Amino acid sequence: MPDSPSIVELLERLVALESVVGALEKTVAARDARIEVLEAENAELRRRLGQTPRNSNMPPSSQGLDKPAPKSLRGRSARRSGGQDGHPGRTLRQIENPDETVRHEPAACGGCGSGLADAVVAGVTRRQVFEIPQVTARVTEHQLIARRCACAAVTCAQAPPGVDAPVQYGPRLAAIVVYLLVAQFGAQKRVAQTVADLFGVPISQGSVAALTARAARRLDGDFLTAIRTALTAAPVVHFDETGFRVAGRLHWVHSVSTGKYSLLYVHRKRGRDAIDAGGILPAFTGIAVHDAWAHYDCYPQATHALCCAHLLRELIAAAELDPAATWAGQGIQALLALKDATDSLSTTPTFCCPAC
């Protein structure tokens, strides 16, 4: 039989084994750390791949035409569909004093066929039709008469204010053009087509742009000062920005709004220089509602609130990433309940900022 190892040899082997075990432990620890990093990267990539305009700040246009069917976040309600009790509603109702009344008489008795010209009126059934009269442009010609005096001098009449050219659009038509373009966000070509279709007045895209620019110049100065003053003094104001192409280059449309006032302006930058150019947030001390864009937080004199629509998206993303996270669903339901409670007290929507 071979000789048994001595105590010294056993100790040497033990030391060697401890060295191997230590090296293996370091290798395992390094792999665990690497696995942890990879798991975090995988979770982040999964989160990014799962981002949509519904659960992130991505714009709706980023999804193209591949949009899934919308999903409601609300559960089933015991209330019936349609208008609820106490809701004022907007049902068309008869009025007491119509603009025109047309009487319709029966031609003959439905029983014996006799004439009813002198018969007693037994009742009147009222039916009212709300209709827009035929709208056509009314052209007024202003003739400026020139007369020659006995002294041989010729004097011409002065045109009324606003009548400046041989042919032009009137103030009401100009107001309709500006309203369709600015208030209803119509495209210049469609506004021109709408005016031609509804009123029979030919107008070009260039004229639409010129009328709008003229109206904007008239609002410059005191009007913009009044809007900025009203927004700065408001208790709650919504701020937002979105990309916009100007002459093929990226600019930004900045929005500052309340339920009553709105200021939209275009700037070549998105950050603090552009926000300062709006003239609102630098002096604003109320509640500023916006998304998580970091530049808004550079104004500490205001109280900042995250737009509820963006908060809802974050909660949706958390719920989709980890279905076991019940807190996310609870937060969604609480947020929606708060919105319903707020809307029941006010006719002005308060859920999110206008550009969401």
At 53-79, the pLDDT tens digits run: 666 666 665 655 555 665 665 666 666
Q: Are 57 and 313 in contact (CB under 8 A)?
A: yes
| Residue 264 tokens, joined | 């939209």
Cβ atoms of 176 and 183 closer than 8 Å: no
Cβ contacts of 201 within 8 Å, gap of 6 or more: 137, 169, 173, 195
Q: What is the pTM of this model?
A: 0.58
The pLDDT profile of the chain, 356 residues, written as one tens digit per residue, is: 567 878 888 888 888 888 888 889 999 999 999 998 888 888 778 777 767 766 666 666 565 555 566 566 566 666 666 666 665 666 889 999 999 999 999 989 999 989 988 899 999 999 999 998 888 889 999 999 999 999 999 999 999 998 999 999 999 999 999 999 988 989 999 999 999 999 999 999 999 999 999 998 887 778 888 999 999 999 999 999 988 888 889 999 999 999 889 999 999 999 999 999 999 999 999 999 999 889 999 999 999 999 888 888 888 888 888 888 889 889 999 998 888 888 877 655 444 444 44
Q: Are strands 154-156 and 146-148 parallel, antiparallel or unpaired?
A: antiparallel
Identify whether residues 238 and 336 lie together within a single domain: yes
- Residues in contact with 256: Cβ distance below 8 Å, sequence separation at least 6, in sequence order: 231, 237, 238, 239, 262, 263, 264, 278, 280, 281
In a domain, 314, yes or no: yes
Check whether residue 174 and residue 268 sit in a common domain. Answer: no
Residues 308 and 237 in one domain: yes
Q: In this structure, what are the phi and psi dihedrals at residue 160, rounded to the nearest 5 degrees?
A: -60, 160
Residue 290's contacts (CB-CB under 8 Å, 6 or more residues apart) are: 238, 239, 240, 296, 304, 305, 306, 307, 353
Q: Do residues 356 and 313 touch, judged by C-beta distance below 8 A?
A: no
Q: How many structural domains comprise the chain? A: 2
Range of the domain at 200: 168-212
The answer to whether residue 120 is domain-embedded is no
Whether residues 260 and 326 fall in one domain: yes
Residues 190 and 267 in one domain: no
The per-residue pLDDT for 268 is 94
Residues 137, 199 contacting (CB under 8 angstroms): yes
Q: How many residues does the chain have?
A: 356
Rounded (10°) angle between helices 308-321 and 326-343? 150
> Among candidates 24, 34, 127, 73, which has minimal Cα distance to 333?
73
Is 106 within the bounds of a domain? no
CATH number at residue 337: 3.30.420
Burial (CB count within 10 angstroms: exposed 0-12, middle 13-18, buried 19+), residue 289: buried
- Spatial contact of 291 and 284, defined as CB atoms under 8 Å apart: no
Mean pLDDT of the chain: 86
The three-class DSSP label of residue 263 is strand
The pLDDT tens digits of the residues spanning 191-212 come to 999 999 999 999 999 999 999 9
Same domain (yes/no): 264, 337:
yes
pLDDT digits (tens, 9 = 90+) for 287-339: 999 998 899 999 999 999 998 888 888 888 888 888 888 898 899 999 988 88
**Helix (H/G/I), strand (E/B), else coil: 246:** strand
Q: Do residue 238 and residue 185 come from a single domain?
A: no
Element (H, E) at 38: helix 7-49
Last residue of a domain, one of 152, 181, 212: 212
Cα separation, 268 vs 244, in Å, equals 9
